[in-house]
Amino acid sequence: MYPFLKQLHSGWAYLALLLLLFAVINSIIGLTSKKEFTAKDRKISLFALIGTHTQLLIGLILYFVSPLGKDAFGQMSNAALRLTSLEHPLINLIAIVLITIGWSKHKKLINSEAKFKTFAIYYGLGLILILSRIPWSLWF
């Protein structure tokens, strides 16, 4: 169970990050070129939402089976264990909450510029937070 989940979380991270990056770039392009927000833009943002939520779900299960997750919680003096047992899960959870807020907010907006701006801010902040707490040394 553990090796499979670890592999899945490691592999899905590429997809989740690519989808999120693509959605952020798309919203910045839409905003700066004053484009109309179309069904295609909605789909791009939706895929990023689904991709990151799936990663969160896998991460939550992994947290309880990995020796670097719940079992390592509390080992504050060890930077690597603090990252995987506290900082990475907590910051990513906050990032995905921001992404979800961005998605909900866009639905109430009518103006294309406001929609692109909402995605650029909330998805962009989410992406920065996620990238700030990736356990890079485990991943590469």
Note the residues at the interface with ligand HEM (CB under 6 A).
6, 9-10, 13, 16-17, 52, 55-56, 59-60, 62-63, 66, 68-69, 84, 88-89, 92-93, 130, 134-135, 138-139
CA distance 65 to 113: 44
Q: How far is the CB of 8 from ligand HEM (least distance, A)?
A: 10
- Interior CA angle at 54 toward 46 and 102, to 5°? 40
Residues 105, 122 contacting (CB under 8 angstroms): yes
User: Which of 10/100 has CB closer to ligand HEM?
Assistant: 10
At position 48, the amino acid (one-letter code) is: A
Q: How far is the CB of 36 from ligand HEM (least distance, A)?
A: 29
Distances (CA, A) of 119 to 56, 70, 87, 123, 129: 19, 32, 24, 5, 15
Residues 116, 31 contacting (CB under 8 angstroms): yes
Q: How far is the CB of 117 from ligand HEM (least distance, A)?
A: 22
Q: How far is the CB of 38 from ligand HEM (least distance, A)?
A: 26
